[in-house]
């Protein structure tokens, strides 16, 4: 059975496809850096909201395909499994790859899947959730040159490659309705309001004592 047959019913192959490729390691790292801490449930993206946005993007005459690519480090299976199963229940396909060495990343797998869909001839738009310009900028700009729309979704603080590109559209993840339960704490020195703002600590002051033990 082919990769295509695993992800969709054959009768939908003739429709224009909108493909979402979500780079989970990069998005998790970017969100953690933005928050300065491990995200709580209030600041974790809701994939059901992303899915509804993607369906609206594809329209009634299109086919929306949502894929999350992730690494699984040894010993983390029980922690990762509920998240993976929740994604699959929402309607996302998940490509999971063991993180055995530093080279066991998923960039190549994401690009291969995009190329597979492009070669099938029904790809109308590619949406990549990642701030990794090194891996994605050149391949995505080549897709635009081939007549395929490309959008990068991510965080404006970490996706400069898309914002600086004349060919790629960019959408901040927080601008998708319902993705976050609460507004992200995004005040930085570059975005200070006229009245000023508090910048909270990244960790407790007591961690200074803990680090001495």
Q: What distance, in Å, lies between the first and last C-alpha atoms of the chain?
A: 56
Return the residue matching tokens 């899915």: 51
Give 3-state DSSP helix, strand, coil % of the chain, rounded to 5.
40, 20, 40
What b/e string do you get for 10-46 counting C-beta neighbours within 10 Å, with b at 16 or more?
eeeeebebbbbbbbbbbbeebbeebbeeeeeeebebe
Between 213 and 96, residue with greater pLDDT: 96
Q: Residue 212: is its pLDDT beyond 80? A: no
Domains of the chain with bracketed CATH: 15-210 (3.40.50.1010)
Mean pLDDT of 80-97: 96
Q: What is the per-residue pLDDT across 38-62, written as a single tens digit (0 to 9) for each? A: 888 889 999 999 999 999 999 999 9
Q: Residue 203: is its pLDDT beyond 80? A: no
- Give, in order, the Cα–Cα distances in Å from 192 to each of 5, 70, 180, 199: 50, 34, 22, 10
E-only strand ranges, 73-117: 93-98
pLDDT at 11: 42
> Can you tell me the distance from the alpha carbon of 31 to that of 159, in angstroms, rounded to the nearest whole number?
12
Q: What is the per-residue pLDDT across 159-187, written as a single tens digit (0 to 9) for each? A: 999 999 999 999 999 999 999 999 888 87
99 Cβ contact list (under 8 Å, min separation 6): 71, 72, 73, 74
Mean pLDDT of 119-124: 93
Taking each helix axis as running N to C, give the angle between helix 133-145 and helix 107-120, from 0 to 180 degrees, rounded to the nearest 10.
Answer: 10
- Give, in order, the Cα–Cα distances in Å from 101 to each of 92, 111, 193: 26, 20, 44
pLDDT at 80: 92
> Can you tell me the distance from the alpha carbon of 66 to that of 95, in angstroms, rounded to the nearest whole number?
11
Q: What is the mean pLDDT of the chain?
A: 88
> Can you tell me the distance from the alpha carbon of 161 to that of 165, in angstroms, rounded to the nearest whole number?
6
Q: Residue 145: is its pLDDT beyond 60? A: yes
User: Of the ranges 45-49, 138-142, 173-177, 207-211, which one carries the lowest mean pLDDT score?
Assistant: 207-211
Residue 43 DSSP one-character state = G
Q: Residue 119: is its pLDDT beyond 90? A: yes
Query: pTM here?
Result: 0.83
Residue 36 token pair: 């300065």
User: Of the ranges 5-9, 100-104, 117-121, 122-126, which one carries the lowest mean pLDDT score?
Assistant: 5-9
Upper half-sphere CA count for residue 141 (Cβ side, 13 Å): 12
> Can you tell me the distance from the alpha carbon of 58 to that of 15, in angstroms, rounded to the nearest whole number?
10
Mean pLDDT of 107-123: 95
């Amino acid at each position: 059975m082919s990769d295509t047959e695993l992800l969709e019913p054959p009768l939908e192959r003739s429709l224009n496809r909108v493909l979402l490729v979500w780079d989970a390691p990069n998005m998790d790292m970017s969100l953690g850096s933005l928050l300065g801490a491990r995200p709580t449930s209030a600041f974790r993206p809701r994939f059901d909201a992303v899915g509804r946005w993607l369906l609206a993007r594809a329209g009634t005459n299109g086919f929306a395909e949502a894929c999350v690519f992730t690494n699984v480090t040894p010993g983390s299976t029980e922690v990762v499994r509920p998240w993976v199963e929740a994604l699959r229940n929402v309607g996302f396909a998940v490509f999971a790859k063991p993180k055995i060495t530093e080279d066991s990343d998923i960039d190549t797998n994401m690009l291969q899947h995009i190329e597979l869909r492009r070669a099938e001839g029904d790809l109308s738009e590619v949406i990549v959730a990642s701030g990794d310009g090194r891996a994605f900028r050149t391949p995505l700009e080549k897709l635009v040159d081939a007549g395929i729309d490309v959008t990068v979704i991510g965080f404006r603080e970490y996706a400069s490659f898309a914002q600086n590109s004349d060919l790629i559209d960019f959408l901040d993840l927080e601008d998708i309705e319902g993705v976050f339960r609460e507004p992200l704490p995004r005040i930085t020195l570059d975005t200070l309001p006229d009245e000023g703002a508090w910048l909270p600590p990244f960790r407790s002051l007591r961690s200074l004592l803990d680090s001495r033990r």
